[in-house]
């Protein structure tokens, strides 16, 4: 799942330093060469489960079949050591030509100047993938020092999943009903959660990572970090109110912290079993929820004060190209196909586990369940993407989440948590 890969990368990147990237090799060190049939060989590295790697291979096979000049070799990395593998390989003659860059290490790769500037390729009118195909919030997120160094393979805007049958059975108004009334706000989320709790069910399952935390603490009309990445909005009234809201609902057991669940339980297992009424996730659960014993639906993430301030979060892993690749045009031929309309369609055939970032593929999201899948598509443009300030300061996200977890388990209150968050943020942003 995308979320699990994000969490794994957050844990891993703190152990990796710029020194691991320094001297990543001259232009002679990259792994491109000729295949047996004389085509240019491109090495593509990506991490994932067996099922995910099989989907990636389908897109690689389709590209190889239609390309006259380029042959792509998929190098799959199972398990949780993907970042370490990439960074080690970048120093060797077997370095990948292109690869998925986990969000938390992407900034470090840019700091180390090992990624190819893709701007001229995206500006080429003959390219299969152009700037206009990339959502603006992602384009900005992938731009470092005026260089666009990544393109999205797809995205996963976050929504609220809810058990529609359970709410109907308990005579609880659904998020969709609140939404249609123009009242799907934080108060409504709390109200639904409390009624589920009072019916001896789990209300809203909260998982501790940047997506739900920042959606709770911030609104779309304010920046989490300043443009110069020297200050943050973690000392704002909105951040304080959002954290207090989360703390109060955890204490009242309207929200359940996933980290406190017993062994074998998780947000999705509670939801599938009919015990949990709501959870917050991207589209990765859609394929898993096709055979549920009940009807579920999705709703947008609620807003705090005003609908225009609603801010979903959106994981979106970039594809990047090794700056030292011998054959950048051949690599771009593959990347533009894989991240373009054809490649995204192949990888998301059926229910899929993500949301396309290029136009013309909305049917992938809208076919099948859930009924209001349009909310996935609606969330793409306004969504918060992984903060660049945290991407370029490895370990900062971990430190923030550690402080949040102390609050979630009752070790400290929201006031102390916010003070500690601001301390670790100030230290990271102002270090020389």
Convert the pLDDT of each residue in 243-263 to its tens digit.
999 999 999 999 999 999 988
Q: 209-241: string of b/e by CB count within 10 Å (b at 16+)?
A: bbbbbbbbbbbeeeebbeeebebbbbebebbeb
Q: 372-401: string of b/e by CB count within 10 Å (b at 16+)?
A: bbebbbebbebbbbbbbbbbbbbbbbebbb
What CATH number does the domain containing 111 carry? 3.40.190.10
What pLDDT score was predicted for residue 264? 84
Co-location of 221 and 128 in the same domain: no
Return the percentage of the chain with pLDDT > 90, whole number.
79
What pLDDT score was predicted for residue 432? 52
Examine the pLDDT at 30 and tell me if it is beyond 50.
no
- Cα 189 to Cα 186: distance, rounded to the nearest angstrom: 5
Give the residue-averaged pLDDT of 144-155. 96
Residue 373 lies in a domain: no
Co-location of 189 and 215 in the same domain: yes
Yes or no: say if 293 and 272 are a contact pair by the CB < 8 Å rule. no
- Find residue 392's DSSP bridge partners: none
Residue 176 lies in a domain: yes
Co-location of 146 and 116 in the same domain: yes
Q: How many other C-beta atoms lie within 10 A of the C-beta of residue 80?
A: 15
What pLDDT score was predicted for residue 171? 98
Examine the pLDDT at 22 and tell me if it is beyond 70.
no
18 phi/psi in degrees, rounded to 5 = -60, -30
Q: How many other C-beta atoms lie within 10 A of the C-beta of residue 244?
A: 17
- pLDDT category, 91, cuts 50, 70, 90? confident
Residue 236 lies in a domain: yes
User: What's the angle, vertex CA 386, arms to CA 337 and CA 312, rounded to 5?
Assistant: 95
What would you report as the CA-atom Rg of the chain, rounded to the nearest whole angstrom?
A: 22
User: What's the angle, vertex CA 268, arms to CA 371 and CA 305, rounded to 5?
Assistant: 65
Mean pLDDT for the chain overall? 90
Give the residue-averaged pLDDT of 105-129. 94
CA distances to 21, 174, 175, 252, 290 from 277, rounded to whole Å, are 45, 10, 11, 16, 17
Residue 368 lies in a domain: no
Closest CA to 228 of 389, 391, 385: 389
Examine the pLDDT at 308 and tell me if it is beyond 70.
yes
Convert the pLDDT of each residue in 218-239 to its tens digit.
999 889 999 999 999 999 999 9
What pLDDT score was predicted for residue 21? 34
What pLDDT score was predicted for residue 38? 84
What pLDDT score was predicted for residue 24? 35
Coil, helix or strand at residue 3: helix
Co-location of 254 and 403 in the same domain: yes
Residue 145 lies in a domain: yes
Quote the pTM value: 0.89
Pairing assessment for the beta strands 147-148 and 202-206 based on DSSP bridges: unpaired
Domain of residue 8: give its range. 2-154+316-360
Examine the pLDDT at 379 and tell me if it is beyond 60.
yes
Closest CA to 138 of 146, 121, 150, 123: 150
Give the residue-averaged pLDDT of 87-109. 88
DSSP string spanning 345-385?
HHHT-TT-SSB-SSTT-HHHHHSSS-TTTHHHHHTTTTPBP
Residue 370 lies in a domain: no
What is the separation of C-alpha 18 from the centre of its chain, rounded to a whole number of angstroms? Answer: 23
């Amino acid at each position: 799942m995308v979320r699990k890969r994000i969490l794994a990368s957050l844990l891993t990147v703190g152990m990796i330093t710029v020194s691991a990237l320094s001297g990543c090799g001259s232009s002679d060190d990259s792994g491109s060469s000729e295949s047996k049939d004389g085509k240019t060989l491109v090495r593509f590295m990506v991490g994932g489960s067996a099922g995910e790697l099989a989907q990636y291979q389908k897109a690689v096979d389709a590209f190889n079949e239609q390309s006259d000049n380029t042959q792509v070799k998929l190098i799959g990395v199972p398990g949780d050591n993907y970042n370490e593998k990439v960074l080690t390989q970048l120093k060797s003659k077997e370095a990948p030509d292109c690869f998925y860059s986990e969000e938390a290490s992407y900034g470090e790769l840019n700091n180390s100047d090992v990624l190819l500037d893709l701007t001229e390729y995206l500006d080429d009118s003959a390219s299969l993938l152009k700037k206009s195909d990339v959502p603006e919030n992602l384009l900005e997120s992938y731009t470092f020092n005026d260089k666009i160094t990544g393109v999205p393979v797809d995205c996963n805007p976050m929504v609220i999943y809810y058990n529609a049958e359970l709410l109907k059975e308990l005579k609880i108004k659904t998020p969709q009903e609140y939404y249609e009334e123009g009242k799907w706000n934080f108060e409504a989320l709390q109200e639904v959660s409390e009624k589920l709790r009072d019916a001896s069910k789990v209300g809203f399952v909260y998982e501790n990572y940047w997506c739900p935390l920042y959606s709770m603490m911030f609104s779309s009309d304010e920046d989490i970090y300043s443009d110069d990445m020297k200050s943050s909005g973690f000392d704002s009234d909105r951040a304080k109110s959002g954290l207090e809201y989360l703390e109060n609902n955890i204490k009242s057991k309207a929200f359940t912290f996933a980290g406190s669940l017993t062994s074998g339980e998780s947000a999705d297992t509670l939801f599938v079993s009919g015990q949990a009424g709501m959870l917050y996730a991207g589209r990765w659960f859609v394929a898993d929820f096709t055979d549920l014993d009940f009807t579920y639906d999705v709703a947008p993430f609620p807003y705090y004060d005003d609908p225009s301030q609603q801010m979903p979060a959106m994981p979106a892993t970039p594809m990047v190209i090794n700056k030292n690749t011998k054959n950048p045009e051949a690599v771009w031929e593959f990347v533009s196909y894989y991240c373009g309309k054809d490649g995204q369609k192949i990888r998301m055939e059926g229910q899929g586990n993500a949301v396309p970032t290029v136009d013309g593929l909305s049917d992938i999201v809208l076919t099948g369940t859930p009924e209001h899948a349009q909310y996935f598509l609606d969330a793409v443009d306004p969504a918060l993407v992984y903060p660049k300030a945290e991407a370029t300061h490895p370990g900062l996200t971990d430190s923030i989440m550690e402080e949040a977890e102390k609050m979630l388990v009752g070790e400290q209150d929201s006031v102390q948590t916010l003070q500690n968050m601001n301390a670790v943020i100030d230290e990271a942003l102002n270090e020389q």
